[in-house]
Amino acid sequence: MILQQPDSVAWQVFDATLRPMLRTEEYDMPGISVQTADTIEDLAAKIGVGPDRLAKTVNDYNTSIDTSIPFDPNIKDGRRADTTPAKSNWATPLETGPFYAYGVTCGITFTFGGLKSDTHGRVLDEKGGHIQGLYVCGEMLGGLFSGNYPGGSGLAAGVVFGRRAGTIA
């Protein structure tokens, strides 16, 4: 859905209540761009979104939150908002200025699939034999992850399997 937006950019919007909960290493790094405004309408103007449209979206979001479930940022709390796409956890009204907008787009961290290899990075054919002179490491190495991955593991796989494949090559 983000890629379908103008310039393939969407905006994460937070209010003054939520802003202190954001991870420092993701939202306070040098070079991170953020737009700030005292009202949703002023924020909309800064990010190139129609002020009435953003105000309606935020109002619809705020009023659709299931407040019978307490907000708990430490667990998947099930506190949802009736939005598209779904907001299934941690739904909290955006009410208190200043408001913050962070532009986000899509990117590929690394592939979850790739070439099958042995533990030395030698690429295997469909019968399990080595393909002479073909090695794999890092993001092109298949079979390490499926549903998710621990942070930094793509780099670690590149170092470990790259060294092993490089030594053999």
Residues 8, 88, single domain; the answer is: yes
Among 52, 74, 104, the domain-final residue is: 104
Angle formed at CA 150 by CA 83 and CA 21, multiple of 5 degrees: 50
C-beta separation of 51 from 41 below 8 A: yes
Dihedral, 10, 15, 17, 19 alpha carbons, nearest 10: 50
Task: Kindly give the confidence (pLDDT) of every residue in the chain, 169 residues in length, as a single tens digit, with 9 standing for 90 and above.
Answer: 888 988 899 999 999 999 999 998 889 888 889 999 999 999 999 999 999 999 999 999 999 999 999 999 999 999 999 998 889 999 999 999 999 999 999 876 666 678 899 988 899 999 999 999 999 887 788 877 766 777 777 778 888 888 988 898 8
Nearest to 49 by CA among 28, 35, 32: 35
Residue in the block written with tokens 């532009």: 103
pTM (2 d.p.): 0.69
Dihedral, 142, 145, 151, 157 alpha carbons, nearest 10: -30
Q: What is the residue range of 18's domain? A: 2-104
Report the domain count for the chain. Answer: 2
